[in-house]
């Protein structure tokens, strides 16, 4: 059995050691400086959407299984399908490395792997299975309101019921 290389913390090269690489493949004049890991040589992804860990996509497989369990017209996701999808993702080198792979690339790979096992699923359903990012806590609108004044006297804003 093949052993996975141990994950390490990427250390980016110094600013003066960065390398010139194409930003867009096969596009003229799209060269930019890219940093890379001095330990393993992986080139840092410059795309705005950072990649996710492999656990994010394992959660997506579990969510897809739950969605299909309750879907009225589509068959359930068999255990063998979820196992094949997970193994296919794990076999791709650096798939779960957010340093070197962007989320767009991961999404494209994930979608194609799921469609290889279950061609009856559309992109919207697969995208619905992706775990949502936790929302940042925002204060309730009522807590942001300044205290109201009533007849010249300042009173605290009352919460809505």
Q: Quote the pLDDT of residue 142.
A: 63
Q: Quote the pLDDT of residue 1.
A: 39
54-63, 68-77, 131-140, 148-157: the lowest-pLDDT one: 148-157
Average model confidence (pLDDT) across the chain: 78
- The tens digit of pLDDT for each residue in 66-121 reads 999 998 899 999 999 999 999 999 998 888 777 778 888 899 999 999 999 999 99
User: Could you tell me what percent of the chain has a pLDDT over 90?
Assistant: 28
17 token code pair:
């050691």
Domain boundaries, the chain: 10-44, 49-128
* Cα→Cα distances 35→11, 15, 22, Å: 10, 7, 13
Instruction: Please check whether residue 95 is in contact with residue 54, taking contact to mean a CB–CB distance below 8 angstroms.
Output: yes
60 token code pair:
């997506």
């Amino acid at each position: 059995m093949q052993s996975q290389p141990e994950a390490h913390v990427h250390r980016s090269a110094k600013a003066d050691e960065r390398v010139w690489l194409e930003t867009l493949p096969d596009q003229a004049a799209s060269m930019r400086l890219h940093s890379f890991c001095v330990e393993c040589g992986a080139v840092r992804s410059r795309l705005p959407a950072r990649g996710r860990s492999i656990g994010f996509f394992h959660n997506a497989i579990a969510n897809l299984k739950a969605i299909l369990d309750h879907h009225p017209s589509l068959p359930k996701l068999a255990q063998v399908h979820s196992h094949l999808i997970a193994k296919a993702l794990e076999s791709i080198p650096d798939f779960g490395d957010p340093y070197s792979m962007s989320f767009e690339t991961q999404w494209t790979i994930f979608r194609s792997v799921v469609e290889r096992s279950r061609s009856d699923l559309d992109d919207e359903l697969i995208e619905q299975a992706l775990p949502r990012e936790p929302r940042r806590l925002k204060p309730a609108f009522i807590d942001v309101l300044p205290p109201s004044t009533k007849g010249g006297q300042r009173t605290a804003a009352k919460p809505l019921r």
